Amino acid sequence: MTKDIKKKNRTRNDIIVEMLTSALEGTTKTRMMFYAYVSYTQLSKEYLPVLLKNELLAYDAERNRYFTTAKGCEYLRSYEK
């Protein structure tokens, strides 16, 4: 017997918060994608460019990881209020 899991419709902000939360200690695209429950296309074409452009996320090419910036942490704090 399978469990019926109902997911609420999430706003764009909800998804952004999940992505920023996943990157607090550093994460890869794949882990961020699974944490936020978005497709690779959504992540790569819709969300990551916006988050990087607005400096909410930073990419460390040497470690191949995305990190939430101070500005991203501030966004998370304001979202919680």
Q: Rounded CA gap, 20 and 18, in Å? A: 6
- pTM of the predicted model as reported, rounded to 2 decimal places: 0.86
Per-residue pLDDT band at 7 (split at 50, 70, 90): low
- Print the domain residue range for 70: 12-80
**Which domain CATH number covers 63?**
1.10.10.10
In a domain, 42, yes or no: yes
In a domain, 39, yes or no: yes
Phi, psi of 59 (to 5 degrees): -110, 130
User: DSSP labels for 27-50?
Assistant: B-HHHHHHHHT--HHIIIIIIHHH
Q: pLDDT at residue 36 above 90?
A: yes
**% of the chain with per-residue pLDDT over 70:** 91
